[in-house]
């Protein structure tokens, strides 16, 4: 009896993930229970194998991606035309973008199952079972603040190998970004993670931090990497909140940045509207805001209070991520919230980016909601390419039968590799 119930529930679950039809789920669950009841172990094996194959086939058939970009014939100006044409050439030469398709792990295709598997992999990454070896460099900034850079253990690669910089999530560090770095190493790229103020175990040394990161801090870190690897081709990848910093940095620098190409993974676009997780998923929002308080507030009480007791208390009392972001702007160095948005909202700077940028968003993302995806901005900016998938959830995108792969890592490195080859063989 127990075997029949388990097999029936599993078959129904897999059917729901692939079809989201209550009637079909009940039908498959009932048939599976009958088969297992009649033939026991053999029936269970046949039933689950058949359902798994059908589920995988349906995911493969239905989960095609959609590309959004500006046609070069509609781009204005020589620079705009060249950027748009470069995006078209990248698409043409990159098979994974010519026919984009994210096929999720069939047993974790739901947005929450995808995230749960991703979190489990991160817990393993940060445990003693995984050897994450980084070389850390500390950078003291002009105002007394401190940031750090964690370089991957990739000494086996030539010193002049291409180099990719990762910008971590809202409360992240190199430990949460390790799988991206390991994959980059396998693809022949050196890599590092830029840790923002207050992150990665480095306490604040000045009463200043910015949830979205500071473009001038990022410039100092880029300059450090460029000095260390002067002949390497540079690329940059922003992950979740790191995408906002990527847009701001790349936009403020324009054509003066040594970064040649970039990717923004699961960006939230307009931060005036982005942090509304509490409206749909209050428990997830509460977890993030408590993590932010532990990272920025609880460990830096004395130094933050020396600047503004009122702002410290407002951040401490914030009940949502949105409230925290709106409260912390004095610590980011701004007199008003509007001034903060004008300087740190990615949408203020995305139009000034002078490099090809891949943007990846999922329609079932619980953080960067589908209704916030700005296709209009992508269609008006000649250097942007948006890959919009049906599934993937928030920065999860697990793939493979056992869920060990990561589509975001793979598609990102495919894009960067193609852009690099074109940049080196067909400059301009």
DSSP string, 258-327: SEEEEEEES----HHHH--HHHH-HHHHHHHHHHHIIIIIIT-HHHHHTT-HHHHHHHHH--SHHHHHHH
> Does 428 have pLDDT greater than 60?
no
The C-alpha atoms of residue 24 and residue 72 are separated, in whole angstroms, by 45
What average pLDDT does this structure show over 70-86?
91
180 has pLDDT over 60: yes
Whose tokens are 């046609």? That residue is 71
Least confident segment among 10-24, 105-119, 270-284, 341-355: 10-24
Q: Are 293 and 316 in contact (CB under 8 A)?
A: yes
Rounded Cα distance, 307 and 309, in Å: 7
Question: Which tokens is 381 given?
Answer: 């900016």
Does domain 65-270+345-425 match CATH 3.30.1370.160?
A: no
Give the rounded percent of residues in the chain with a pLDDT score beyond 70. 90
Strands (E), 89-203: 134-140, 146-152, 163-167, 190-195
pLDDT for residue 251 is more than 90 = yes
Q: What is the average per-residue pLDDT within 308-323?
A: 95
What average pLDDT does the segment 311-327 reach?
A: 95
In the chain, what is the straight-line distance between the N-terminal and C-terminal CA atoms, in Å? 68
Joined together, the tokens standing for residue 418 give: 């193609």
Residue 143 has a CB neighbour count (10 Å cut-off) of: 12
DSSP 402: T
Residue-wise pLDDT for 2-21, tens only, equals 766 676 777 776 776 776 66
Question: What was the pLDDT predicted at 14?
Answer: 74
Helix (H, G, I), strand (E, B) or coil at 143: coil
295: its two tokens:
């990272």
Mean pLDDT (the chain, rounded): 90
Where does residue 357 rank: exposed (0-12), middle (13-18), buried (19+ CB within 10 A)? buried
- pLDDT > 90 fraction of the chain, expressed in percent and rounded: 70
Task: Name residues whose C-beta falls within 8 Å of residue 130's C-beta, 6 or more positions apart in sequence.
Answer: 124, 178
The predicted structure's pLDDT at residue 151: 97
Q: Is 14 exposed, middle or buried (0-12, 13-18, 19+ CB in 10 A)?
A: buried
**DSSP label of 398:** E
Helix (H) or strand (E) holding 386: strand 384-389
């Amino acid at each position: 009896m127990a075997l029949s119930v388990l097999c029936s529930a599993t078959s129904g679950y897999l059917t729901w993930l692939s079809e989201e039809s209550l009637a079909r789920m009940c039908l498959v669950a009932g048939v599976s229970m009958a088969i297992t009841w009649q033939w026991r172990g053999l029936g269970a094996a046949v039933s689950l194998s058949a359902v798994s194959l059908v589920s995988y086939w349906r995911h493969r058939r239905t989960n095609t991606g959609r590309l959004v970009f500006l046609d070069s014939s509609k781009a204005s100006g020589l620079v705009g035309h060249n950027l748009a044409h470069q995006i078209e050439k990248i698409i043409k030469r990159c098979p994974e973008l010519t026919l984009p398709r994210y096929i999720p792990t069939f047993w974790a295709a739901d947005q929450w199952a995808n995230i749960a598997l991703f979190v489990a992999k991160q817990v393993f990454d940060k445990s003693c079972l995984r050897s994450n070896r980084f070389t850390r460099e500390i950078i003291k900034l002009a105002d007394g603040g401190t940031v750090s850079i964690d370089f991957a253990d990739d000494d086996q690669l030539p010193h002049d190998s291409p180099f990719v910089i990762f910008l971590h999530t809202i409360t992240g560090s190199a430990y949460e970004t390790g799988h991206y770095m390991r994959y980059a190493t396998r693809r022949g790229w050196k890599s590092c993670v830029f840790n923002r103020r207050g992150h990665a175990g480095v306490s604040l040394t000045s009463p200043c931090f910015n949830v979205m990161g500071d473009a001038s801090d990022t410039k100092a870190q880029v300059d450090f990497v460029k000095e260390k690897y002067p002949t390497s081709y540079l690329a940059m990848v922003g992950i979740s909140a790191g995408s906002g910093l990527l847009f701001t940095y790349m936009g403020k620098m324009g054509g003066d940045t040594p970064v040649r190409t970039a990717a923004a993974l699961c960006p939230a676009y307009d931060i005036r509207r982005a942090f509304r997780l509490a409206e749909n998923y209050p428990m997830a929002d509460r977890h993030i805001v408590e993590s932010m308080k532990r990272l920025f507030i609880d460990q830096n009480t004395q130094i933050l209070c020396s600047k503004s007791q009122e702002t410290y208390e407002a951040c401490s009392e914030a009940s949502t991520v949105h409230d925290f972001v709106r409260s912390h702007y004095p610590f980011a160095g701004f007199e008003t919230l509007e001034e903060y948005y004008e300087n740190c909202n990615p949408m203020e700077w995305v139009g000034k980016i002078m490099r090809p940028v891949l943007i990846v968003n999922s329609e079932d993302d619980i953080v960067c909601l589908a209704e916030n995806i700005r296709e209009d901005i992508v269609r008006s900016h000649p250097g942007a390419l948006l890959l919009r998938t049906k599934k993937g959830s928030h920065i999860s995108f697990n793939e493979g039968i056992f869920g060990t792969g990561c589509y975001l890592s793979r598609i990102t490195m495919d894009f960067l590799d193609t852009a690099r080859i074109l940049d080196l063989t067909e400059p301009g």
